[in-house]
């Protein structure tokens, strides 16, 4: 043990702190040139990258949708009904189990008065939620490997039973075919430039005046963006019930920027920091046995609750979150229609 200012720290802990200080000496001038913006803006890209062959989905993404993400063109004078859709996550496998915990999936439905055709539009993970929330640790590379993409899916039909049995299927407005076509062009641009899924919303505390450090980017956020766009196009949306959505929060003090893969995992001087990030994510690795999972849960509890430590990957960069109570919380809160 080593004494630092009256604090006892292990030798590896001292090295980690020194490395963080060394790294911040390099990064601080860049970060301080402009005041940090909170929440950190979600980064958009020029185009969607190709999928790495290593990443595999347990269930295929958008199996009945158009392979190129195309949306049918409506006649300008058509009248299109807009539906709010919500169902428990993995309802097809677990029924209402996750619904009882208010862990819900959201989508938007459309129905053409002219043709009678129905459509469903949603946005979700290409490789399931776990792969978008935590990385894989590969022996041949030091940096964690992320299978993290999310995308829009547009397909024919609305499965009435799927959405209404344990969730919500409610008409909330009408738009013209012209407004629908404008929305479709916006969806395709949004889908091409917003490429990755983000599970967590990170706040300073649960209170109403809390600082939001990072916003999530998930299925409900896509629905909110779509509603706002429809409102901008002139749609009037109204729900007879309270419009609640699932949010998964982390609570922390002010985050510390660490850098991207090359800055952290390509610098020998930051080897201990790189290894600490890998050790953190080791507790959340996929495909664990029941015994390993039990130990991993204890390890995760120690890191997050006892050590107040969390590494967040956002905009393809790492941040350190100094965690604080209540640490993690799932809420089901109202987000009014625009």
In a domain, 310, yes or no: yes
- Please give the angle made by the CA atoms of 293, 197 and 163, to the nearest 5 degrees: 85
Tokens representing 33? 């040139």
pLDDT of residue 329: 96
- Please give the angle made by the CA atoms of 205, 211 and 215, to the nearest 5 degrees: 95
**What b/e sequence results for 230-245 when a residue is b if at least 16 CB atoms lie within 10 Å of its CB, and e otherwise?**
beebebebeeeeebbb
Question: Peptide bond preceding 326: is omega within 30 degrees of 0, i.e. cis?
Answer: yes
Task: Say which DSSP state 145 is in.
Answer: B
Q: Catalytic annotation on 320? A: no
In a domain, 14, yes or no: no
In a domain, 145, yes or no: yes
Task: Say which DSSP state 207 is in.
Answer: S
Q: Catalytic annotation on 153? A: no
Q: Which helix (H) or strand (E) holds 261?
A: helix 261-265
Q: What are phi and psi of 277, to 5 degrees?
A: -65, -45
The packing angle between helices 219-232 and 177-193, to 10°, is: 140
In a domain, 4, yes or no: no
pLDDT of residue 189: 95
| Three-class SS state of 249 | strand
In a domain, 123, yes or no: yes
CA dihedral 222, 226, 232, 238 (to 10 degrees): -110
Number of domains comprising the chain = 1
Question: Peptide bond preceding 39: is omega within 30 degrees of 0, i.e. cis?
Answer: yes
pLDDT of residue 82: 98
**Catalytic residue (one of 132, 147, 153, 219):** 219
pLDDT along the chain (338 residues), means of 10: 39 43 41 74 93 87 87 96 95 79 94 97 93 92 94 96 92 98 97 96 96 98 98 97 96 97 94 96 86 87 94 98 97 96
Q: pTM for this structure? A: 0.86
Tokens representing 50? 């190709």
In a domain, 329, yes or no: yes
**Catalytic residue (one of 105, 132, 153, 320):** 105
**Which range of residues forms the domain containing residue 94?**
79-334
The packing angle between helices 271-282 and 11-32, to 10°, is: 100
Query: Strands of 104-112's sheet, edge to edge?
Result: 150-156, 118-125, 104-112, 79-88, 168-176
Q: Which of 266, 278, 294, 235 is nearest to 80 (CA)?
A: 235
pLDDT of residue 34: 57
Q: Are the beta carbons of 58 and 67 closer than 8 angstroms?
A: no
pLDDT of residue 182: 98
- List 110's β-bridge partners, or say none: 82, 119
Diameter over CA atoms, the chain: 77
In a domain, 91, yes or no: yes
pLDDT of residue 93: 75
For residue 94, CA distances in Å to 68, 97, 254, 325 come to: 31, 6, 38, 31
In a domain, 184, yes or no: yes
């Amino acid at each position: 043990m080593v004494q630092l200012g009256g604090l006892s720290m292990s030798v590896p802990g001292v090295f980690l702190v020194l490395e963080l200080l060394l790294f911040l000496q390099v990064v601080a001038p860049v970060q301080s040139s402009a005041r940090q913006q909170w929440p950190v803006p979600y980064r958009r890209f020029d185009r969607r990258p190709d999928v790495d062959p290593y990443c595999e989905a347990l269930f295929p993404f958008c199996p009945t949708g158009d392979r190129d993400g195309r949306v049918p063109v409506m006649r300008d004078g058509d009248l299109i009904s807009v539906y709010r859709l919500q169902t428990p996550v993995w309802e097809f496998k677990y029924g209402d189990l996750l619904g009882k915990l208010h862990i819900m999936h959201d989508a938007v439905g459309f129905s053409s008065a002219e043709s009678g055709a129905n459509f469903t539009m949603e946005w979700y993970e290409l490789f399931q939620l776990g792969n978008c929330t935590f990385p894989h640790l590969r022996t041949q590379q030091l940096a964690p490997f992320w299978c993290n993409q999310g995308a829009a899916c547009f397909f024919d039909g609305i499965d009435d039973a799927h959405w209404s049995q344990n969730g919500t299927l409610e008409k909330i407005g009408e738009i013209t075919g012209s407004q629908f076509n404008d929305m479709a062009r916006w969806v395709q641009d949004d889908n091409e430039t917003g490429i990755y899924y983000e599970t967590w919303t990170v706040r300073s505390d649960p209170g109403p005046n809390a600082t939001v450090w990072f916003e999530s980017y998930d299925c409900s956020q896509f629905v909110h963006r779509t509603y706002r766009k429809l409102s901008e196009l002139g749609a009037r949306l109204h729900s007879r019930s309270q419009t609640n959505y699932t949010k998964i929060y982390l609570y922390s003090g002010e985050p510390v920027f660490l850098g991207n893969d090359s800055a952290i995992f390509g610098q020998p001087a930051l080897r201990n920091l790189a290894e600490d990030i890998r050790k953190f994510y080791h507790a959340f690795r996929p495909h664990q046995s029941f015994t390993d999972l039990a130990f991993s849960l204890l390890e995760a509890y120690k890191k997050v609750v006892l050590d107040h430590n969390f590494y967040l990957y956002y905009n393809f960069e790492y941040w350190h979150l100094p965690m604080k109570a209540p640490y993690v919380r799932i809420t089901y809160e109202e987000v009014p229609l625009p």
